[in-house]
A and B are shown apart, each in its own frame.
Chain A
Amino acid sequence: MSEKKIVITGHTSGIGKAIYDKFNEISCREIVGMSRRNGYDIEMDFDKIVEEATGAEFFINNAYRDEQQLKLFHALKDKVDMMVVMGSVSRHYPELIPTDYVHDKQALAEACRLESINPNGIPILHLDLSFIEGTTVSENDPTAFISDYNTSLEDIVDTIIFWAQKPSIRQVEFRWKLTDHVRKELERINPNLDPSRIQF
């Protein structure tokens, strides 16, 4: 019988790396990282990821690319014991951040919500993350920006560890602070924005 394992997508940078490193430090389970760099592209290698993650005790659905994160959610929600899904608090503000990213994160959150009312569903934690410490953004993406108020990687990792012992929790949201810097960036990426929409 194979030993239970913990699988993390997008484990080579950012929050994925922080989780991967912490679990390697504290868990006696096998920790499996799946990223493009080691041959697990969530689009190109989708079937391989599903096959190898099946049976995992813990699947951390972290890597984002378009709809692939949602597809992985559906493909694995009946094939692993527990799942953590990295969402974004930006999904609450589609008018402020009218991007495909926000749309995808909305769809992901709704899928998690529906699963939470499935009587046969596995424990799933949907994390609505704020801007994360150490985030890097693509220079080619005109809608990307870095906030000057961040959630620490440690707080997010601590939350996952807390949830692993309290799987009755289904959703945790982190503060998304509207600083002057963020306000200016929102106006930059969304020139049609009515400024009154950012008076929270």
Chain B
Amino acid sequence: MRFYITGSTRGLGEFLAKYFSCKSFNKPLDINSDIESICDSIEEGSVVILNAHASQLEYVERLKDKCSLVVMGSIAAVNFDREMPEYSKEKWELEKTVQQLALHSKYPMLYLQLTSSSYRNYRIVANSIQFWLDNPDITFIGYNINE
């Protein structure tokens, strides 16, 4: 199975790119302005990890009938972050959209509601994705805040 990832130059994205041997979209491609060409280059039936926050919702809409999707969400979607209101709002919209789409999506869809601690625990995120690949009826995994 072929894997792709957005946002893989550092941190969690970099780890997942190596773990799943993902094809990445790096410069000169721009995640925001080259959405169409990036989506066109993705092979049907593959797994796409939407790690970069930029244009996440648009990628979901464009790829939902073409690939299995792993969408990196945030606890900020439900625990409103006053310091980043736009971010919280966008993540909330993303979470609601993915939960609805996952009911009928042609391909499996997983939403990961990450917390600051799970975001740094690369291995548990990779293990969660691996577990979902074997159990594709799972649509949502959330992590603890109290750690």
| Interface residue ranges, A against B (CB under 8 Å) | 92, 113, 116-121, 123, 128, 130, 151-152, 155, 158-159, 162, 166-178, 200
Contact = CB atoms under 8 A, between A and B. Distances in A.
B116 interface: no
Interface in B92-131: 99-100, 102-104, 113, 117-118, 121, 124, 127-128, 131
A111 to B, nearest CB: 14
Contacts of B117: 168
B137 interface: yes
B29 interface: no
A200 B64 CA distance: 14
Interface of B: 78-79, 99-100, 102-104, 113, 117-118, 121, 124, 127-128, 131, 134-135, 137-147
A158 B135 contact: yes
Given A175-B102, A200-B100, A200-B103, A170 B143 contact: yes
Among A117, A118, A166, A170, find the residue whose CB has the most chain B CB atoms closer than 10 A: A170
A116 B100 CA distance: 24
Contact of A172 (B78, B141, B144, B147): B141
Nearest to A174: B137
B139 A169 contact: no
Among A113, A152, A162, find the residue whose CB has the most chain B CB atoms closer than 10 A: A162
B144 A151 contact: no
Contact of A169 (B78, B99, B137, B141): B141
Contacts of B124: 166, 168-169
Contacts, number: 77
Contacts of A119: 146
Among B100, B118, B146, find the residue whose CB has the most chain A CB atoms closer than 10 A: B146
Among B78, B134, B135, B138, find the residue whose CB has the most chain A CB atoms closer than 10 A: B138
Contacts of B128: 166, 169
Among B124, B128, B131, B144, find the residue whose CB has the most chain A CB atoms closer than 10 A: B144
B103 A175 contact: yes
Nearest to A112: B142
Contacts of A130: 137
Contacts of B100: 200
B107 to A, nearest CB: 12
A200 B102 CA distance: 10
Contact of B104 (A116, A118, A178): A178
A151 B143 contact: no
Contacts of B118: 168
B141 A200 contact: no
Contacts of A158: 134-135
A151 B108 CA distance: 14
Nearest to B134: A158
B103 A176 contact: yes
